Amino acid sequence: MTSDWETIGPLLHGTARAWRQKLDERLRPMGLSQAKWRTLLHLSLARDALTQAEIAARLGIEEPTVVSLLRRLEKEDWITRTNSPHDRRCKMVLLGRRAQQVIPQINATAEKLRHELLAGIPKSDLQTCMGVLARIRGRAEKTERRQSFTRQSVARAFVEHNGQTKQGYSIPRKSAISRRNGGLK
């Protein structure tokens, strides 16, 4: 028998999925799939252009997948991609004119759906729910950042192929790094 606590993950995932599907149904007549409107919304919320890697991270998908998505969006004039002024290998992505015209419609549709789905739920319940979700997300992101930092630290130790770091020290063996980081892999 499962406890109530064991169902929270599937409940969170299922709720987010159902909400996105409802919005997807309403945006489909505008020629927008879920992948397209989610990408456009992330771009519209960003203060500056985003890199392809940043978009992939925000969408939670692999970079090769986002590249083919962006190619389609560019071909349909939803976005523009340009080389970064700092790194020619890096593509910067901006909303295209077509997307800039439709973003207000996407936002209005999302707002209407939000009101429909949250209607009748007391404000105090929503505030409690949002507070709890923010704490869970913060803990999950804190753990993720810590793991990412550890991986980056280990990767920086292996900066040259000749067996030495930039400072000229021998690169330690993987087992020595694992012991030093408390067994983290």
Distance CA 74, CA 93 (A): 9
Q: Which residue carries 């804190």 as its tokens?
A: 142
Do residues 54 and 71 both lie within one domain?
yes
Do residues 24 and 96 both lie within one domain?
yes
Copy the structure tokens of residue 26: 């309403």
- For residue 87, what pLDDT is reported? 84
Which pLDDT tens digit goes with each residue over 116-162? 999 999 999 999 999 999 999 999 888 766 666 555 555 554 444 44
Q: What is the pTM of this model?
A: 0.68
Do residues 125 and 114 both lie within one domain?
no
- 45-66 average pLDDT score: 92
- For residue 159, what pLDDT is reported? 44
Which pLDDT tens digit goes with each residue over 24-47? 999 999 999 999 999 999 999 998
**What band does 58 get if pLDDT is binned at 50, 70 and 90?**
very high
Residue ending a domain, among 87, 102, 119, is: 119
Please state the separation of Cα 20 from the chain's center in Å: 15
> 154: domain range?
121-185
Do residues 49 and 30 both lie within one domain?
yes
- For residue 156, what pLDDT is reported? 52
Distance CA 36, CA 175 (A): 44
Do residues 69 and 56 both lie within one domain?
yes
Distances (CA, A) of 151 to 26, 60, 102, 154: 41, 19, 40, 5
**Count of C-beta atoms within a 10 Å radius of residue 102:** 18
DSSP 47-85: SS-EEHHHHHHHHTS-HHHHHHHHHHHHHTTSEEEEE-S
Do residues 52 and 97 both lie within one domain?
yes
Copy the structure tokens of residue 134: 């923010």
Residue 2 falls inside a structural domain: no
- For residue 151, what pLDDT is reported? 55
Do residues 20 and 109 both lie within one domain?
yes
Which has more confidence, 65 or 173? 65
The candidate with the shortest Cα–Cα distance to 26, out of 114, 118, 85, is 114
Residue 128 falls inside a structural domain: yes
CB 23 within 8 A of CB 110: yes
Residue 125 falls inside a structural domain: yes
Do residues 57 and 106 both lie within one domain?
yes
Strands (E), the chain: 50-51, 79-83, 91-95
Do residues 115 and 125 both lie within one domain?
no
